[in-house]
Amino acid sequence: MTQHAPCILLIEDDFQIRRVVRNALERQGMRVEEATACASGLEQAGQVKPELVVLDLGLPDRDGIDFITDFRLWSQAPILILTARFSEAEKILTLDAGADDYLTKPFGIGELLARVRALLRRQASSMEPALVEFGETVVDLSRHQVLRAGAPMHLTATEYRLLAVLIANQGRVMTHQQLVRAAWGNNTQHGSTYLRVYVGRLRQKLERDPARPAHLQTEIGVGYRFVL
């Protein structure tokens, strides 16, 4: 990212948190624009056209969800939410509204940078590669084939569909509902228990240590995230 400095819009009302986040991002050679409220954030976003938005949910003027909804009307740039613990319902709402990922306060710098990079990478590579490699698994998306340690691994059609959805949304947190709809269609009766069972099977087939998955990660109470 040396040749191009991605522009990041940081919307956060607390000065100290703004300072920490800005410093961390700027050290990575990113350009950071700041706003302290939803309204000014939206205005700012219109001017600078950020490649990523870091949004605090506890803003004084408006609900963060309003920002996401408005922003999504004209931009697909990823949104990273900063939120408090105990608010799984709120996290799900923001993700369903169009946010891509969240960080629970307090968060480490390393974690923040990892999330930001993953989202930017995802943004940059909008064209999906035919081959996705993670761990000892290779997924050939063009031929619907999965290899593990060089040997073909059989996935059922549902398992494959679920995996494809997760890969297509890599780096993002997908809520249970989003995944169920993507894998089984809008009219499905299946609940999150069904989804959990299928993710469990995928892990058994694809993860080196299914109990401590490195790629098919659980966001407890919210959903799943696929990371390379």
Partner 1 sequence: MDNNRPSVAGHCASDLRRGRALGLGFALLACAATTVLGLGLRHWLDGPNIVMMFLLNVVLVARYLGQSAATLSAVLCVAAFDFFFVPPHLSFAVADLQYLLTFGVMLFVSLLIGHLTIGLRRSALLAEDKAAQTAELFALASTLGRALTREDVARAITVVQRALPDITCRLYALDDHEHLQPEGAAGALSDLEAMAAGHVMRDNKLMLTADLTADAHPLMILPLWGSTRMRGVLMADMATGSADLMRHRAMLEAIAALFAASLERLHFVAVAQQLQMEAAAERLRNSILAAVSHDIRTPLTALFGTADALMLDAAQAPEALRENIFAIHEQSMRLNGLVGNLLELARLHTGNFQLRKEWQPLEEVVGSSLKLLDAALARHRIELHLPRDLPLLEFDAVLLERVLCNLIDNAIRHAPPGSAIAITAALEKDHVEICVGNEGARIPEAQLTQLFEMFSPDTHAKPHSGLGLSICKTIMTAHAGSISARNQANGVRICVALPLGTPPELPRDPEDPPGAEAGPAV
Which of 72, 117, 181, 201 binds partner 1 (CB under 8 A)? It is 201
- Contact track, partner 1, 175-194, x by CB under 8 A: --------------xxxxxx
- The C-alpha angle with vertex 219 and arms to 218 and 221, in degrees rounded to 5, equals 115
| Contact window for partner 1 (CB under 8 A) among 32-40, 67-75, 102-110, 137-145 | 102-110
By CB under 8 A, what part of segment 7-66 binds partner 1?
14, 16-17, 19-21, 23-24, 27, 58
| Closest approach of partner 1 to the CB of residue 158, in Å | 5
The answer to whether the CB of 214 falls within 8 A of the CB of 135 is yes
- The answer for residues whose C-beta is within 8 angstroms of residue 68's C-beta and 6 or more apart is 55, 79, 94, 97, 98, 99
Query: Quick check: 221 binds partner 1 (CB under 8 A)?
Result: yes
Q: Is 173 helix (H, G, I), strand (E, B) or coil?
A: strand
50 exposed, middle or buried (CB, 10 Å; 0-12, 13-18, 19+)? buried
**Closer of 121 and 161 to partner 1 (Cβ):** 161
Asked if 144 touches partner 1 (CB under 8 A), the answer is no
Q: According to CB under 8 A, which one of 29, 108, 124, 144 is a site residue for partner 1?
A: 108
Cα torsion angle, 185, 217, 32, 82, sign = positive
- Asked if 10 and 22 count as a contact pair (C-beta separation under 8 A), the reply is yes
Residues binding partner 1 (CB under 8 A): 14, 16-17, 19-21, 23-24, 27, 58, 84-86, 88, 105-110, 112, 156-158, 189-194, 196-197, 199-201, 203-205, 210-213, 217-221
